[in-house]
Structure 1
Amino acid sequence: MRVTKYEHAALRIDESGDTLIVDPGSFTTPLDDLTGVVAVVITHEHPDHWTPEHLDRILRDAPGIPVFAPAGVSAAAADHEITIVSPGETVTAGNFTMRFFGGAHAVIHESLPTIENVGVLINDELYYPGDSYAVPEDVAVSTLAAPLGAPWLKIGEAMDFVLAVKPRRAFGVHDMTLSVIGKDMHRARLQWATEQEGGEFFVLEPGESLDL
């Protein structure tokens, strides 16, 4: 299985000719080579994790594929058919099995409403929490896509999240709100946290891939 990071929160996962797209949002440039896409996962409704334009482009190349997302996305994406998923559910599409965890977006501020968010574990290998610190219970996470920067993120809490998950590998995502210096600082902190349990941290720039 191969994971490719794109700008901000978007991931492409390839396995045996099938492709899964996760969180193609407003900070992500248009994706190409979409002929093998079998499903899309959207962790929550915020536009930096999905846009109608991205979905329309993907569905033109892969019509009829399922789009898995929590109920808040279904309400926001009224012009698209969304398959609603909740924490504790498992779904399949092509060569992918997806298990969902969490349930709530991390708190930005008490003045803002809390929305739904799901973390997704793909093929029992790659875990991406969306905008949360949801730790998958009773799961040994091999590879973690760990958030680097966000209005809701404090780097110490992100480090604690990585320490709790204890992945064998990790790389940073959710990073377009950071400067180059900020990315490097936060990557160094998450690298330290990953290495505390013997894991390895990888730096992926947009378009770069990691074989799992």
Structure 2
Amino acid sequence: MQITSLGHSCIRLQHEGCTVVIDPGCFSDPDALEGADAVLITHEHVDHFVPDRLREAGGDIDIWTNPAVARHLTDLGGRVHTVRHGDAFDVGPLEFHVYGEKHATIHRDFAEFDNVGFLVDGVFHPGDALTVPEEEVRTLLAPAGAPWVKLAEVVDYVREVGPGEVFLVHDAVLSPPALSAHTQILSSLVGGPHGPAVRTWSAGDEVGLSGAGGSSSQAVPRT
């Protein structure tokens, strides 16, 4: 399976001719939906979900998301599929498992927001939550920084999930020096000789995963 960063928390998954995009928000590549067979949305915040992008994409792209997001897309009819924690669904050869129910708390004065994470073939995108799946995670897409999380919480989250490797997402809220500092701290606290590698990537970087038997990967800039 090939994974491409499309900026912030948006990624593209490609496997056996199938293309799935997760969380094409306002900070991601404006052409993120090009060639997509399906789109997965973790929650309704604008850095993960721009309704008009999905409408303008046209075609027959299926959309998988939680009920709160689906309520914004009733005009798209049967293309929109609602999922909840514990569900599973297939997109072509890819089987996705759904984990999580709520967005991490931003502040007690904010209402709670629905949030679902998606796991496929050992790769987990949690959206804006620190959900721990009930199955093995080989590649974790962990938040580099956000209004709703402290770096110490990310360290504990990575330790609890225990992935083979970590790719940092949700990074548009950090300056390059801050992202570098966060990466160094995470690497020192969760890495080491027996811990996961903590990697950063830029929009357009591609990652090739070795498949169900392992998670050896490397970010390769797209030319």
Which residue is 1:21 aligned to? 21
| Structural mapping, 1:24-43, within 5 Å | 24-31=24-31, 34-35=34-35, 37-43=36-42
Does structure 1 residue 167 correspond to structure 2 residue 163? yes
Deviation at 1:52, TM superposition (A): 2.1
Which residue is 2:52 aligned to? 53
Name the SS for the 1:72 alignment partner: helix
Deviation at 1:141, TM superposition (A): 0.6
Which residue is 1:155 aligned to? 151
Query: Structure 1 stretch 49-58 or stretch 38-47: which is displaced more?
Result: 49-58
TM-score for both structures, normalised by structure 2: 0.87
Query: Structure 1 stretch 72-81 or stretch 108-117: which is displaced more?
Result: 72-81
In structure 1, give the amino acid aligned to 2:154: A
TM-score for both structures, normalised by structure 1: 0.91
Contact 1:163 1:193 in 2 (8 A): no
Q: Per-residue displacement from partner, 1:3-42 (whole Å, max 9, x unpaired)?
A: 111111110011011100000001113125823x221100
Contact 1:3 1:14 in 2 (8 A): yes
Mapped to 2, the partners of 1:33 and 1:154 lie a distance apart of 31
Which residue is 2:142 aligned to? 146
Mapped to 1, the partners of 2:198 and 2:2 lie a distance apart of 16
Which residue is 2:220 aligned to? none
Deviation at 1:163, TM superposition (A): 0.7
Name the SS for the 1:50 alignment partner: coil
Q: Alignment length, in residue pairs?
A: 206
| Structural mapping, 1:92-111, within 5 Å | 92-111=90-109
Identity %: 34
**Gaps spanning 5+ residues in structure 1: where?**
none
- Give the alignment's Cα RMSD to 1 decimal: 1.6
Which residue is 2:67 aligned to? 71
**Gaps spanning 5+ residues in structure 2: where?**
210-223
Deviation at 1:189, TM superposition (A): 2.6
